[in-house]
Chain A
C-alpha cells in the first residue's frame, strides 16, 4: 500500500469520517483515514444519535449546533439516506419550578434567533399523547431530530471512498513526528508520511496529542442506553431521554458517569433508566428490553468543541468534541474551509485549542 498522502486523518468515527468526506468533496489530493479498530467500534456506534440543538448552553454553543443541524438535509442528499428525521425535540419537566428555567432558556435563545417554545401540559400531551399526564410542561424546538448513526458513518465512508479516500482499519497509531514539510505517522501496520495531519481521535484525543506534544484536554463520560423490542410507532418527537427508531425500537437513556474507558453496563443505571422511561411514558412499562449498551463519550475539559489549526505546528489540525453526531457536517465543512480557503465561513476562534494554554 502507498504510504505517502497529502492528508492523514486519525480517527474514522463520525468526526474523522465527516472531515475526510467533506475534504474529498473539494480536494483532489490524496487522503488516508486511519482507525485503531473499525469505524463505529467506539463512541460513534454507541449513541442515541440525536441531532440536538436546544438546551445546549451558552447560546453561542447552541448556535454552532444549530448551523450543523441545518446542514443535515443537504448531507442526506449528497451521501445517501442516513435516516435523518427532523422530528422536533421535546424536553419534558415534571416540576412547575422548572418552567422558570425553561422560560429563561427560551429568552436566551431568542437573542440568537433560535425559536424555543415552552409548552403547557396540554400542549405536551397534544404533541405526545402517550406522555405521562403528570408532566407540567416541556421545552420544544423544531430544529431537533435524530439520525441513524450506523448508516451515517457507513454512508460517509462509502461517499469518501468513491472520492478516492483510503481507509486503513485495525491499525492503531503508535507515534507521531513532525518533520520538515509534514509528519510521520507510525502505526501497527506501516509508517506513513503526510503533508497535513488531522487529529480526530475522539475519546483518545488526549493520548493522541501526547504523541506530538500537544495537550488536548479530553475526558471520557459513560452513557448507558436501553433498547426495546420494535414497537408500533407512538413517539412523534425526539424526547430528551427517549427516541423511537425507524424500525420501531425505542432507545432510552440519559446517564453520565466518569468511568474512564470502562464500557460496562450496570444494573443500577439500567434500573434508573427504566424508571425514567416509565415516568415519561407510563405505557412503555409492558415493552420488553432486548439489550443494554454503553458508550464512552468524548468530553473536552470545558465541554466545548476543540476545533481548528494547532498553533506553532504548521499543517496540524485537531477536531475533538462532544456531540459529534450533531456537529459532524459542520466540523467537516469548517476544517475543509480552513485547509482550502484558509478561512472559515463562521468564526471558530472561540473553539481553538489555544484557549487551554
Chain B
C-alpha cells in the first residue's frame, strides 16, 4: 500500500500514521485507534478494521489469526439520543456533581 493511502475514511487516517504507531510499540487495532482516531468516526471501524489488521500483520510478527478485531460497542449503528432516552426522571447510577457533596453541621467538610 502507498504510504499516503487513506485507511480510515471517516477520520482521514493514512497508512503512514498507522505504521508510525506500530513503530512506537502499538500492536492492536485499539492502540492505533486511540493514538490516531482511526476507526473512531461515524462507521466505528466497520470499513477500516480489516485494512488495519493487514497493516499490523505486515509491520509486526503477528499472524492474521493473532490480530483481534476492534471492540464493538453499542449502538451498532448511530442512534439518536431521544431514541435511547426513557421517560424516567429517576437517576440511580448517573449522578450530578453536587449530589456528591455532603454537608456536615451545615458545612462542606
| Chain A residues at the B interface, C-beta cutoff of 8 Å | 37-38, 40-41, 45, 55, 57-59, 91-93, 98, 101-102, 104-105, 107-108, 139, 150, 154, 157, 167, 169-170, 226, 228-229, 240-241, 253-257, 265, 267-279, 284-293
Contacts and interface: CB of A to CB of B under 8 A. Distances in A.
A255 B108 contact: no
Interface stretch (B1-9, B48-56, B77-85): B77-85
B79 A58 contact: no
Contacts of B41: 290
A265 B79 CA distance: 16
B47 to A, nearest CB: 14
B26 A289 contact: no
Contacts of B107: 104, 108
A167 B25 contact: yes
B93 A288 contact: no
17 contacts: A58-B109, A98-B98, A105-B101, A226-B81, A241-B94, A256-B93, A268-B93, A270-B74, A271-B85, A275-B86, A286-B80, A287-B81, A288-B81, A289-B80, A289-B84, A291-B44, A292-B75
B78 A290 contact: yes
B80 A254 contact: no
Interface in B90-109: 91-98, 100-103, 106-109
A55 B27 CA distance: 39
Contacts of A101: 98, 101, 103, 108
A289 B78 CA distance: 5
A288 B30 CA distance: 23
A45 B82 contact: no
**Chain B facing A: main interface SS:** loop
Nearest to A170: B27
B103 A104 contact: yes
A95 B22 CA distance: 51
The 9 A-B residue pairs with the shortest CB-CB distance, nearest first, are A285-B82, A240-B97, A288-B78, A274-B85, A274-B84, A272-B94, A108-B108, A40-B34, A169-B25
Interface in B22-40: 24-28, 30-31, 34-35, 37, 40
Contact of B81 (A241, A256, A289): A289
B96 A150 contact: no
B75 to A, nearest CB: 6
A38 B81 contact: no
A278 B95 contact: no
B42 interface: yes
Given A278-B85, A291-B74, A292-B74, 8 more contacts: A101-B103, A108-B107, A157-B24, A269-B94, A271-B84, A278-B82, A288-B78, A288-B79
A255 B94 contact: yes
Contacts of B42: 229, 290
Given A101-B98, A270-B74, A58 B108 contact: yes
B108 A105 contact: yes
B86 A271 contact: yes
B85 A291 contact: no
Contact of A274 (B27, B81, B106): B81
Contacts of A104: 103, 106-108
A154 B81 CA distance: 31
Contacts of A287: 80-81
A57 B103 CA distance: 10
A241 B100 CA distance: 13
Contacts of B91: 272, 275-276
B98 A292 contact: no
Contacts of B109: 57-58
Contact of B85 (A108, A228, A265, A275): A275
B108 A272 contact: no
A102 to B, nearest CB: 7
